[in-house]
Structure 1
């Protein structure tokens, strides 16, 4: 028998937090890395997202849907960082 949650937390907030951190990391890589090394540093940034997502979703204290939230965080972060990476690549291509 399961007990109902007294004050359930909204579960998608953690997913959006992870996406925001991924966007911030991608912008940081774009600002600090040399254009030839941006793709490599994007991979490092995506690697940093994994433990950050674990921490965010474990902090929420809900075990229901953990795998789905982690998958959504990872796929969304990959998509966000990929879009920003494409933008940075096009900016590099047309700037010089």
Structure 2
């Protein structure tokens, strides 16, 4: 009996959920944060994205592709927050 891997749509959904969280966090930080604490909040958002990625990937209970899904979600969140950092520091 062979085990099926996580369906592609579900795998994309787990990754895009973390990317969406990072994007929403970046927008909220840009709008509501004091300019002196932007860096700290962005670092916290990245840490929360990593934890959220781990929770979502462990909740799927699928070990095939775990590392690639985790790497994709964390890398995407890092890129989103890096771009947000540049934009926030340009507007402040």
Q: Same fold (TM over 0.5)?
A: yes
Please, what TM-score do these two structures have when normalized by structure 1? Answer: 0.82
Q: Deviations over 1:2-60 (max 9, x none)?
A: 3346x836212111110000111111112221111101110011111111111112222
Map residues 38-53 of structure 1 onto 2, 5 A cutoff: 38-53=38-53
- Structure 1 stretches lacking a partner, 5+ long: none
CA distance in 2, matches of 1:25, 1:8: 28
Instruction: Please tell me the root mean square deviation across aligned C-alpha atoms, in Å.
Output: 1.9
CA distance in 2, matches of 1:45, 1:3: 35
Larger radius of gyration: 1
Spell out structure 1 runs of 4+ moving beyond 6 A.
none
Map residues 1-96 of structure 1 onto 2, 5 A cutoff: 2-4=2-4, 8=7, 10=9, 11-92=11-92
